[in-house]
Chain A
Amino acid sequence: MTVTINGQAHQLTTAPDRPLLDVLREDLGLTGTKYGCGEGQCRACTVLLNGKPVTSCLTPVRLADGKSVTTIEGLAPGDRLHRVQQAFLDAEAMQCGYCVPGMILRTVSLLEATPHPTDAQIIDALNGNLCRCCGYVRILDAVRRAAQQEGGRPHAE
């Protein structure tokens, strides 16, 4: 299998039914993608597959063959932050932070499709992402902030 992960092509030899989540974390050391439930119900494991958000816990690695995967580690080059990461920082939208990579990737995908979402559209897009610290007030604030930023330009550190 060949999977492009964060812009880099990887030849993978592994059981084709292993969850993409496990391959990212265990074989490639990309531990920013989190296990939350293995049911696709909390979306802590969200990655972008050809730009679309998927729950990597339920995605067998074979379905990523020939495709590109973006994880939280590959969202912005080097030490720079993607504007959505910056918005989560500015809104202090984290307590334990375990849900945050999934929240950020889901938001990136929302804003690409809908650059100026209404609150209802934000809620529709992120309702599947669980935060047990229940930091939803600030998560909503972070998404609104990200939407207000100019599109596409990563912030310098």
Chain B
Amino acid sequence: MPNEPERYELFEAPPYQFQLNRRDFLEVAGFVICLTATPLLDAQTAAKPRARLAFAADGTVTVFAGKVEVGQGAATELAMAVAEELRLPVSKVRAVLGDTDLCPNDGITAGSRTTPATVPEARKAAAAHRGGELSPPPAWKTLGQSHPAQNARAIVTGRHQYPSDIRRPGMLYAAVLRPPSFGAKLLSIDPSVLKDKSLTVVNDNGFVAVAAPTSFAARQAVATLAAAARWETKPHPASADLFRVLKETATNPRENKRGDLAPAFAAASKQSRGTYQTPYIQHAPMEPRAAVAEWLDGKLTVWTGTQNPFGVQQQLQQAFRLSAEQVRVIEPGSGGGFGGKHTGEVAIEAARLAKEAGKPVHLRWTRAEEFAWAYCRPAGLWEIQAALDANGRLTAWDFASYNAGTAGLESPYRIPNTRTRFFRSDSPLREGSYRGIAATTNNFARECAMDELAALAGQDPLDFRLAHLDNPRLRDVLVAVAEKFNWKSRRQKPGAALGIAAGFEKGSYVAACVEVAKDAKSGFAIRDFHMAYECGAILNPSNLRAQVEGAIIQGLGGALMESIEFVNGRLTNGSFTAYRLPRLRDVPPLTITLLDRKDLPSVGAGETPIIVVAPALAAAVSALTGQRRRSLPLRSA
């Protein structure tokens, strides 16, 4: 089955079809004629510097990359890669990321691709400049060592400018009128209710927004407009009906088969069957979507928080009918992404307002907007049926996955007869990428089923997995985590509620062990959580450990407490007051084992560690309560 890991990014219509106004159309028309008449602009494009490296007279080097820094450590890693190949101290190398005027287009910052794709590009450019070969990992002096984030001092002093911190001369602050419910259509508004003539109001084909000297004034103006707006609402399913909707709207599946299921099930000694569910969850980055847009001499510059600066540049070109040369997107390093900032709505909104106002405009979504109008991790539904022979060996595996996505669909275990199906469904909510996206949820369902099958076979779930695993790297992390956790002896202890899970994605391998115990207040508490992780040759051990810690704790959110709820087209928990997220008190004792494979290529590590958190916990909680847990979140009321 061909993989399509980012399918959710590609199927959305542009967020706005602006009418703009007559003067704009004439300008656009004039520009198009100009483009056809003279190849001047094309020549400029070709001449534009897109060098990977720049060398300054003072001996410092700048590395340029179209990737962005959202806290995952890309900037420091790229600087380290160049320092390594140029034999320079890291302090002599600076990374400039995410600026469409300065950087090569390295594509979206997603799929853990910076490490396997962009770092090698930077190393090659530096090695070529030096006139030598790439340094082999055993000879590394800089890579493989821990280096702190390059902007750490700017962060602790508050000087780092996130997209929402950008200030431009004469800048206005904006707010947008949002529909009262999903799918609602604006019938009418009455701009005359706004008496303040200093406000800039845009009412363009469903996009209604205000820019004002302060964000307070802009929010007040939008509230006044909202009170007088008329909407046509649309029926919308409630989250209580979510899994029925996913099942009922499923279309013909994509299917991958091996062997023959029917005879295997007929000859089975034992069979298992289970239905698994994961709800929508939100990325909820600390910095909501934000953009500052400025038009100057026909050129649009937008500072914005996005994982996809070149994609946003294209969206701006499309929305305002501009050439690439007329749009510059700058991503100055933003406050979290986690797969949630692949789109450019806020950049387009700010640019539309700035065009109207003739001044730079700052727009930062509210937390409520970020919950309701950003996209969620897809909800998922699974039906899994499997068969064991008399020796407790898996003979048949029938895996049906609805809506979650196609990453991580295939089982890593040795099973002679399998059918893997993926069904697309009509999603009630807007959905898109997320850290690990479908690999996390497909792995949750699969590993829960493996735990049940081990019990059915009367085997230790570690031994049961190892008996069906050929992949040496996956075996290595399972064995490593089980040894460190003392799995075998802890299992002997009566009443011990343990869970184990494993998986691989994007070329890296992970396994986890956890113990839970009864807790009067929350039902259960995590005693300790162990993980072993392997992602090839480690580039920056300290940063890798931070990524793994963050992935585990973020994974605890999805596993234990997060679920987006909605009714009548509105979220009922779209706020930090109502939507529980992991906090300091939720952090269990963590033991992380990083396997450094200097003999293997380095791959990205921001995502994969998250994929084993929920199934390991579900297994432990099932052991504690004696009741199989097949739905997330595990602490749902």
Interface residue ranges, A against B (CB under 8 Å): 14-15, 17-19, 22, 25-27, 29-39, 41-42, 44, 71-73, 81, 85-86, 88-89, 92, 94-101, 104, 122-123, 126-140
Contact = CB atoms under 8 A, between A and B. Distances in A.
Given A92-B542, A96-B287, A98-B287, 11 more contacts: A15-B214, A22-B214, A39-B575, A85-B156, A94-B149, A94-B155, A98-B335, A133-B71, A134-B549, A134-B557, A138-B546
A22 B583 contact: no
24 contacts: A22-B214, A27-B214, A31-B162, A34-B335, A35-B288, A41-B577, A71-B158, A81-B153, A94-B149, A94-B156, A95-B73, A95-B550, A96-B333, A96-B335, A100-B155, A100-B156, A127-B584, A130-B581, A132-B554, A133-B71, A133-B550, A135-B549, A136-B583, A137-B590
B608 interface: no
B610 to A, nearest CB: 10
Interface residues on B, range: 35 or more
B577 A99 contact: no
A140 B584 contact: yes
B285 interface: yes
A45 B18 CA distance: 35
A27 B583 CA distance: 32
A133 B336 contact: yes
B553 A96 contact: no
A77 to B, nearest CB: 12
Contacts of B61: none
Contact of B553 (A18, A33, A97, A134): A134
Given A81-B157, A97-B151, A132 B583 contact: no
Contacts of B135: none
Nearest to A26: B214
Nearest to B166: A31
B576 A37 contact: yes
Contact of A22 (B216, B288, B553): B216
Given A39-B576, A97-B71, A130 B286 contact: yes
Contacts of B364: 35
A149 to B, nearest CB: 14
3 smallest CB-CB distances across A and B, nearest first, come from A32-B158, A96-B71, A98-B335
Contact of A134 (B164, B577, B582): B582
A156 B424 CA distance: 59
Contact of B216 (A15, A41, A81): A15
A92 B216 contact: no
A89 B542 contact: no
A98 B584 CA distance: 16
Nearest to B173: A26
Given A133-B71, A133-B336, A92 B152 contact: yes
Contacts of A127: 583-585
Contacts of B287: 34, 36, 96, 98
B215 interface: yes
A95 B557 CA distance: 18
A22 to B, nearest CB: 5
Contacts of B108: none
B452 interface: no
B71 A35 contact: no
B549 A139 contact: no
A50 B531 CA distance: 44
A22 B338 CA distance: 27
A38 B71 contact: no
Nearest to A90: B148
B157 A32 contact: yes
B242 interface: no
Name which of A27, A122, A136 has the most chain B CB atoms within 10 A of its CB.
A136
A98 B336 contact: yes
B157 A92 contact: no
A135 B576 contact: no
A134 B575 contact: no
Name which of A27, A94, A133 has the most chain B CB atoms within 10 A of its CB.
A133
Nearest to A36: B286
A18 to B, nearest CB: 5
Contacts of A34: 162, 164, 286-287, 335
Contact of A72 (B151, B157, B215, B336): B157
A1 B590 CA distance: 49
A113 to B, nearest CB: 18
Given A34-B287, A39-B576, A137-B587, A89 B71 contact: no
A97 B335 contact: yes
A61 to B, nearest CB: 10
A138 to B, nearest CB: 7
Contacts of A36: 286-287, 367, 576
Contacts of B100: none
Given A71-B158, A94-B152, A126 B338 contact: no
B367 A39 contact: yes
B474 interface: no
B383 interface: no
Contacts of B286: 34, 36, 42, 44, 96, 98-99, 130-133
A119 to B, nearest CB: 10
B258 interface: no
Contacts of A94: 71, 149, 152, 155-156
Interface in B296-335: 333-335
